[in-house]
Amino acid sequence: MKKIMTFPMGGVHPPDSKEYSNSFSIRNAPIPSLAVIPMQQHMGAPAECLVNVGDKVEEGMLIGKSTGYFSANVHSSIPGTVKDIQEIYLPTGMKSKVVLIELEGEFRKPGSKSDDWRSASPKDLLDKIVNMGIVGLGGATFPTHIKYNLKPEVKLEYFVVNGVECEPFLTCDHRLMLEKTNEILEGIEIINKIMNPQDIYIGIEKNKPDALAVFEQTIGAKGLPFKVMPLKVKYPQGDEKQLLKALIGREVPSGGLPLDIGAVVSNVGTVFAIYEAVCLNKPLIERIVTVSGTAVKTPSNLKVRIGTKIGDLIDECNGVSKKPGKIIVGGPMMGFATADLNAPVTKGTSGVLVLSVREANLAGELTCIQCGKCVAACPLGLNPTTLYKLVDHGLYEEAKAESLFDCKECGCCAFVCPSHIPLVQGMRLGKFMVKKQKVK
Amino acid sequence: METKNNLLISTSPHIHSPISTTKIMWIVALCLLPAGVWGVFNFGINSLFIVLASVVSALLTEFIITRLLGRFTLLDGSAFLTGLLIGYNMPPDIPAFIPVLASVFAIAVVKQTFGGLGRNFMNPALAGRVFALFCWTEDMTRWSPSMLSASDAFTGATPLSQGPAEFLSKSGSYLDLFLGNISGCIGEVSVLLLLVGAAVLFLLRIITWEIPAAYIGTFIVFAWVFGGLTDGGGFFRGDVLFHTLSGGLMLGAFFMATDMVTSPLTRKGMIIFGVGCGFFTFIIRFLGGLPEGVSLAIILMNITVPLINKFSKPVKFGLVRDNNNEAGK
């Protein structure tokens, strides 16, 4: 029996609510008749739009070119005609240029699998990742090529595959691990070739025993040198900082990257996308989205083309079973609420959740009673109540001095707060105001 | 789906743990009830009147003041809890105006002056009790005998004012102390029922182990090492069991020192706080002029909480520890 690990500080145990959708196989969502493809689907600079209204595009054609190093390519998810180019607000609150593509013409025939990568150079493979627009699919959408582009003198110690999926409700990574085990393992081999780490860990929480078993089995059968690591169920273990603390006992320094402690982390979805990009020459134009929540009639795990409207996905799941109170893009702890059913699925959309009115209604806010639950829950050792008060009083610089910018908005503090204080909102406001004052 | 909707937009997280401040207050009050019922059985119906007087006056004071401020806060349970605790901290046959004034002082001066729930810097109930103790010392230290006690408790002196030797030879046993067949304040006598209530609070994770453990632990150590000097036994001869079971220690350690508003934020801070409470309870009880020190000790430590918070900040992730050590504890 392996030691079951977890991170020591903070964390919460929300009900994982995976039972709504974790037994349903991934199925294809309908092809959108109109794909809405944002140029900003990743962290960093938006892609530069390469098409004009009226242009014919093919499936998988490059329509947004990465602008500089900290950016990513964007491809068309369907064949068709560019109908319009607009600026819209995405559920994340970011404004982005979007390309509207009307479905028309032929789909690409799926190419046969190629094993050429085994003889390719790491540089070529990295270029492939850049070209295919691969970004982290866990939610942060950090451009993958930046993570993998190590300086020649750097010797990577650990590559960690993140199969934790600690957000309640979401099961897209879980299903992917069960159904595409071989593909994910081949993806890891590709990454192994690019970065050549000393150790490769696959971290999976104990609430997915079937995924743990299938990975153990397949890795054993193939004789691959990867280690499957069972983890205790605790939110936010899927965050790379907490995951690395749990697996290798090191802490990513404040403001630093995992690479600073000799590790790189990628989500299983990203690994699968890399496999498809390298072996099938397929750009990142599809992803798995969990459609779930207490108010969805048929919770599902769908394979969705980027640019599909979230309203169409809910329709595909037979609509709602009770009056919806809130629609969340992403998970319930860190996702974004939206009222726009025309909002598109982007590379970072891991889930679309519909909550009933009863669950959506917020309890009234009371005053802070200094209970310290938020302090105990913070996985980063911050003092959320004090930070919130500083921000509330407009003392933004003081909040910054109390490490406001270390906060990653995981939501543990607001989850446990008995007075229902919107702590995460306070942190976001504080960060926004500090940045705004700097611009002035 | 139709596009016109009444969907709610808010920041994450979109789910919440089921606990709430209001629930916490009412659950604590519920957990205190058994000990109070025992008090009423033990001391007679007049003690029920005392408890009700303090609860009603606390609620009324809170209502009037918040009404003037254009708010309504009675349902959050905090004023009820304060009134209940003041009632529990009164001798059973005290004139009723004293608990009433103590409640008014607690709510009007200690709680609302500083902004109401969450902003008071000391426990209002304890402040009310100490206010009464200093204003009407004689009434606050005149004890009526326990009606359930087997012995002929003619004086009605509390175990603490008698001291362990006299109590155990004349008035009762350790079991009487544990069950509450003794004289004392209405709500503090039954250690058993207070522990039952505290156990529920532990199970519901409303209180954590740090403060009670540090408080009682520190007190036990000091009482054991030095307690014998004043009680007549010498070093390491203190009657730990007697001192732990008597007075308001259990009520204080589990229900009043753990008051979230007036205790530190972090685990480290809570332990420092508990140790301080235990130390000062020992000092006042054994060396001070008063027979009991729990309320003053907790109030004293309440005042130091901002200082404790300042020096017991949580250790930030990724700042201090050496990353080359595989310290994955």
| Whether the predicted pLDDT of B168 surpasses 90 | no
| Whether the predicted pLDDT of B170 surpasses 80 | no
Widest CA span in chain B = 83
- Which 151-180 residues of chain B touch chain A by CB within 8 A? none
Residue B289, domain member (yes or no): no
Q: Residue A84 in contact with residue A49, Cβ under 8 Å? A: no
Three-class secondary structure of residue B251 per DSSP = helix
B9 reaches A (C-beta below 8 A): yes
Q: Tell me how many residue pairs between chain A and chain B have CB atoms under 8 A apart.
A: 189
Q: DSSP character for A43?
A: S
Q: What is the pLDDT of residue A290?
A: 96
Structure confidence by residue, pLDDT tens digits, A165-200: 999 999 999 999 999 999 999 999 999 999 999 999
Q: Residue B326: which pLDDT band, with cuts at 50, 70 and 90? A: very low
Q: Which CATH number fits domain A112-279: 3.90.1170.50, 3.20.20.70, 3.40.50.11540, 3.40.50.720?
A: 3.40.50.11540
Residue B57, domain member (yes or no): yes
Q: What is the pLDDT of residue A2?
A: 67
Q: What is the pLDDT of residue A83?
A: 95
Three-class secondary structure of residue A286 per DSSP = strand
Q: Residue A290 pairs with which residues in a beta bridge?
A: A301, A351
Q: Residue B55 in contact with residue B88, Cβ under 8 Å? A: no
CATH 3.40.190.10 fits A26-110+283-359, yes or no: no
Residue identified by tokens 């397929």 is A282
Could you list the beta-strand ranges (E) of A248-309: 263-267, 286-292, 300-305
Three-class secondary structure of residue A99 per DSSP = strand
Angle, in degrees to the nearest 10, between helices B21-43 and B45-68: 150
Q: Residue A352 pairs with which residues in a beta bridge?
A: A291, A329
| Whether the predicted pLDDT of B299 surpasses 90 | yes
Could you list the beta-strand ranges (E) of A52-94: 56-57, 62-65, 74-75, 80-89
User: Which tokens go with A111?
Assistant: 């190419």
Angle at CA of residue A171, ends A169 and A175, nearest 5°: 165
Q: Which chain B residues are within 8 Å of A372, Cβ to Cβ?
A: 260, 263-266, 270
For A255: left if phi > 0, alpha if psi spans -120 to 50, otherwise beta; the answer is left
Residue B121, domain member (yes or no): yes
State whether B3 and A311 contact (CB < 8 Å): yes
State whether B13 and A414 contact (CB < 8 Å): yes
**Among B20, B116, B316, beta carbon nearest to A367:** B116
Q: Which chain A residues are within 8 Å of B326, Cβ to Cβ?
A: 248-250
Q: Which chain A residues are within 8 Å of B274, Cβ to Cβ?
A: none
User: Which tokens go with B73?
Assistant: 């806060």
- Exposed/middle/buried for A266, CB within 10 Å: 0-12, 13-18, 19+? buried
| Whether the predicted pLDDT of A364 surpasses 90 | no
Q: What is the pLDDT of residue A71?
A: 93
User: Which tokens go with B19?
Assistant: 């606990």
What residues does each domain of chain A span? 26-110+283-359, 112-279, 373-439
- Which 191-220 residues of chain B touch chain A by CB within 8 A? none
Q: What is the mean pLDDT of chain A?
A: 93
Q: DSSP character for A255?
A: T
Residue B49, domain member (yes or no): yes
Structure confidence by residue, pLDDT tens digits, A17-67: 999 999 999 999 999 999 999 999 999 899 999 999 999 999 999 999 998
Q: Which chain A residues are within 8 Å of B263, Cβ to Cβ?
A: 370, 372
**What is the bridge-based pairing of β-strands A263-267 and A286-292?**
unpaired
Structure confidence by residue, pLDDT tens digits, B113-145: 999 999 999 999 999 999 999 999 888 888 877
Q: What is the pLDDT of residue A440?
A: 66
- Which 388-427 residues of chain A touch chain B by CB within 8 A? 403, 406, 409, 411, 414-416, 418-420, 422, 424-425
| Whether the predicted pLDDT of B83 surpasses 90 | yes
Q: Average pLDDT for residues A202-210, to the nearest whole number?
A: 95
Residue B150, domain member (yes or no): no
Three-class secondary structure of residue A229 per DSSP = strand
User: Distance between CA A114 and CA A61 in Å, rounded?
Assistant: 20
Angle, in degrees to the nearest 10, between helices B97-104 and B45-68: 30
**One-character DSSP codes across A305-372:** ETT-BHHHHHHHTT-BSS-EEEEEES-TTT-EEE--TTPBP-TT--EEEEEEHHHHSPPPP-------
Q: DSSP character for A110?
A: P
Of all helices (H) and strands (E), which one includes residue A101? strand A95-103
Q: Please provide residue A15's backbone torsions phi and psi, each rounded to the nearest 5 degrees.
A: -60, 130
Structure confidence by residue, pLDDT tens digits, A67-122: 888 999 999 999 999 999 999 999 888 899 999 999 998 887 777 888 889 999 99
User: Which tokens go with B316?
Assistant: 């930030």
State whether B316 and A315 contact (CB < 8 Å): no
User: Distance between CA B124 and CA B30 in Å, rounded?
Assistant: 19
Three-class secondary structure of residue A290 per DSSP = strand
Structural domain span for residue B45: 20-143
Q: Average pLDDT for residues B70-91, to the nearest whole number?
A: 94
Length of chain B: 329
**Among B1, B12, B318, beta carbon nearest to A319:** B1
**Among A251, A382, A403, beta carbon nearest to B323:** A251
Q: What is the pLDDT of residue B155?
A: 54
User: Which tokens go with A304?
Assistant: 């969705």
Q: Residue B325: which pLDDT band, with cuts at 50, 70 and 90? A: very low
Q: What is the pLDDT of residue A113?
A: 86
Structure confidence by residue, pLDDT tens digits, A403-417: 999 999 999 999 999
Chain A CA closest to residue B12: A334
Shortest alpha-carbon distance between residue A62 and chain B (Å): 31
CA distances from A89 to A38, A93, A96, A156, A344 (A): 10, 6, 6, 39, 10
Q: What is the pLDDT of residue B327?
A: 40
Closest CA to A21 of A313, A334, A323: A313
Least confident stretch, A236-240, B237-241, B318-322: B318-322
| Whether the predicted pLDDT of B164 surpasses 90 | no
Q: Residue A309 in contact with residue A342, Cβ under 8 Å? A: yes
- Exposed/middle/buried for B217, CB within 10 Å: 0-12, 13-18, 19+? middle
Chain B CA closest to residue A242: B317
- What is the total count of domains within chain B? 1
| Whether the predicted pLDDT of B7 surpasses 70 | yes
Cis peptide before B291 (omega within 30 of 0): no
Structure confidence by residue, pLDDT tens digits, A262-281: 999 999 999 999 999 999 99
Q: Average pLDDT for residues A124-145, to the nearest whole number?
A: 92
Three-class secondary structure of residue A381 per DSSP = coil
Helices (H) and strands (E) in chain B, counts: 15, 0
Q: Which chain A residues are within 8 Å of B323, Cβ to Cβ?
A: 250-251, 253, 261
Residue B304, domain member (yes or no): no
